[in-house]
A and B are shown apart, each in its own frame.
Chain A
């Protein structure tokens, strides 16, 4: 089953984006053969307490078995530990944190504490490098992109933590992957949404150098059209087993569900 680990529900504050409702997302998934999507609450990323969007997200996703909510947590808001526990209790596939959008240090003490909590609880920590191309962001959208150094620091911060990084490009991935020990690198997954295909062939190169086992299918929809992630796989000569792993098996393994039952 094709699983999109990088999808959103809800409006975007910096421009009108069509297709942000659950029904529209499901229609886009049908259009592109996506069986399941891990969904984040898009407006909450910009709230002072992003966890305030979790209740709506859980309720909205709960109406649709194909949508799995990714709860958001701000590690400097009192009670954040309870948010982590609720994600675990609710069998969320991951918990997301967007430190640069929250205005906190991307690898500071609070992020390290969150990392340890996720490692201890056995829940995947999701981090986004960016949401939009830096050249087109709204003039008042000043949040920095996630630095590669932060991912290196966080994966070293707890030996049990597993991290999923979305919206990373080839240089970012190479910097983190080859700047990590093999054990650290095995605890990081990358979604393919921001990686270029031919003629630059960044995805093909990464599959050769890093290996397809570290990559998962992600689109960034509805901020980006999901056809893009499918097209870049269709342009590869990928063994069917590797393609199946990238499209779903690796995501299932990342959340401890290698059978992919969700």
Chain B
């Protein structure tokens, strides 16, 4: 089994005229790589009617609805994170309850609010209550504010994770840009923070450093926007990991932190 813990899909209310082709391409490439489950989120309208990282409540709802529909259409291939904007607390909590009841299995927090902000506490409290992980978008070593997002780094996620020890947090896309060398030591002592290997970055030495920092039991395989980089990392790991550790990274770690029965052979 192979679980991509960081996937995305598009829908009809996004700026992309080729949204169907991109969704189909992800599934087609996934077949070739052998991805069993695409664990995905949709960030509102992807910028069409509200910013990607500051999605309006209506856009969150529409994106989540579309993902629920995809999950129903591809029950053997797709699972969903409910994406919310923590600035709208009541809406976010209601949306999490609605989408988890509808079959989603995790919460996606992008960059609408800094990860250590108290506004994230009720969301994490609900995640604890429902027993689901939180995938947090991360800018590895954020040195300043970047336009279009209130990005967080590992230090900020670490502060949130320390406040919610029973919630599994996923530090997003260690290869997704930024200084990953800063992120890994920051979460080394936080066992409830997992590292997602996705992102376009395929830096030499990155995978070894991930293993040294948190061990194979805290790594999750993923792709994000580039399936070839995910496949490359998987091929590399096949050379350096024991078969037991490789199984952990491929799917067992994900099966451990997501709700029981979330995946086909779980």
Contact = CB atoms under 8 A, between A and B. Distances in A.
A228 B205 contact: no
Nearest to A229: B232
Nearest to B24: A199
Interface residues of B, number: 36
B94 to A, nearest CB: 31
Nearest to B27: A199
Contact of B227 (A133, A198, A230): A198
Given A18-B208, A223-B204, A198 B29 contact: yes
A234 interface: yes
Contact of A18 (B181, B204, B233): B204
Contacts of A230: 232, 235
A231 B232 contact: yes
Nearest to B239: A31
A235 interface: yes
Interface residues of A, number: 29
B204 A19 contact: yes
Contacts of B21: 201
A199 B32 CA distance: 12
A59 interface: no
Interface stretch (B100-108, B128-136, B172-180): B172-180
B228 A224 contact: no
Nearest to B204: A222
Contact of A199 (B23, B140, B178, B202): B23
B143 A139 contact: yes
A197 B224 CA distance: 12
Interface in B225-255: 225-229, 231-233, 235-236, 239
A231 B140 contact: no
B74 interface: no
Main secondary structure of the interface of B (DSSP, over half): helix
Interface string B143-159: 10000000000000000
A200 interface: yes
A196 B29 CA distance: 13
Contact of A221 (B200, B204, B226): B204
A230 B21 CA distance: 23
A16 B208 CA distance: 12
A16 B205 contact: yes
B16 to A, nearest CB: 10
Contacts of B73: none
B227 A228 contact: no
A-B pairs, 5 with minimum CB distance = A197-B228, A135-B177, A198-B29, A228-B232, A227-B232
Interface of B: 21-23, 25-26, 28-29, 32-33, 139-140, 143, 177-181, 200-205, 207-208, 225-229, 231-233, 235-236, 239
Interface of A: 15-19, 31, 132-133, 135-136, 139, 196-201, 221-225, 227-228, 230-232, 234-235
13 contacts: A16-B205, A139-B143, A196-B225, A197-B226, A198-B26, A199-B227, A200-B25, A200-B226, A201-B25, A227-B232, A231-B231, A234-B231, A235-B33
